[in-house]
Amino acid sequence: MPIYHKYSLAPLSWFRTGGSADTFVKADTLEELQEFMRNVSAFHILGNGSNTLIRDGGVTEPVLKLGRGFRAMMQAKNTVIVGAACLNRTVVEQAASWGLSGLEFLIGIPGSIGGAVAMNAGACGSETKDVLKSVQVCLPGGFLQILDITDLGMTYRHATLPKDAVVISATFALMPADSITIRQKINTYLEHRDEAQPTGGKTGGSTFKNPEGCKAWELIDAVGLRGHRIGGAVFSEKHCNFIMNTDGTATDIEVLGNLARSRVKEQTGVELEWEIKRFGRL
């Protein structure tokens, strides 16, 4: 199992910023993952690098990334089993080729299936929990467990996984559909993303979860932060719940986000909650 020291994490982040991991481990097989889980008590899991901000000071705890052995997809009638390292877009396209519908909403969500499960990713009124049947996880000590959807307590952008569990695979229950209908759904979601969100820049996706009864971007806009910049970090003019990195630092991004949290709290009383996972030394 490859183990690296002082490994630069910035190229693995969609923000393209952040420090190095004191220890970086890539598990390409289940056996390697189990070995890692038997020997490490605290760690960070890094998926596709979206929805993640790695702080400039680097990361003390080992950083784990799942490799090629966790990218398989299997079909059994209307059920698909997807490895946690599979990219959302790849999964949508493969399911479409099998004539199975239900995952199209993931087409515009950057990231991998493990992350989609862990945060109950969603878009355009659909969420991962709507089609998820079960997940397999690796627990501390290397033990494997299958969890039913009813065990996960999935709510808005949240799943209740066991402490330090690593998602290995997810099983989805889908519906058969003709290829034209599926393709139309995919195109609709992509068109909506391109119209409503910034694309092509260095961003981690939505910065904050939507508070109950309102939209995070509306609150950020209302307190005058659309287009506001700190260093190389700026709230997108197109969708101000997205922070764009224009050759800034992770600190720029986090300071800008915290400015929005404090200003929204002061002026509206609403507490914005980070959707982006942040870790590492300040």
Catalytic residues: 157, 206, 275
Q: Residue 164 in 3-state DSSP?
A: coil
Contact 248, 204 (CB under 8 A): no
- Residues with Cβ within 8 Å of 258's Cβ and at least 6 positions away in sequence, in order, are none
HSE-CB at 235 with a 13 A cutoff on CA atoms is: 25
Q: What angle do CA 157, 171, 74 make, to 5 degrees?
A: 135
Token pair recorded at residue 240: 């101000």
Distances (CA, A) of 148 to 97, 121, 172: 26, 17, 11
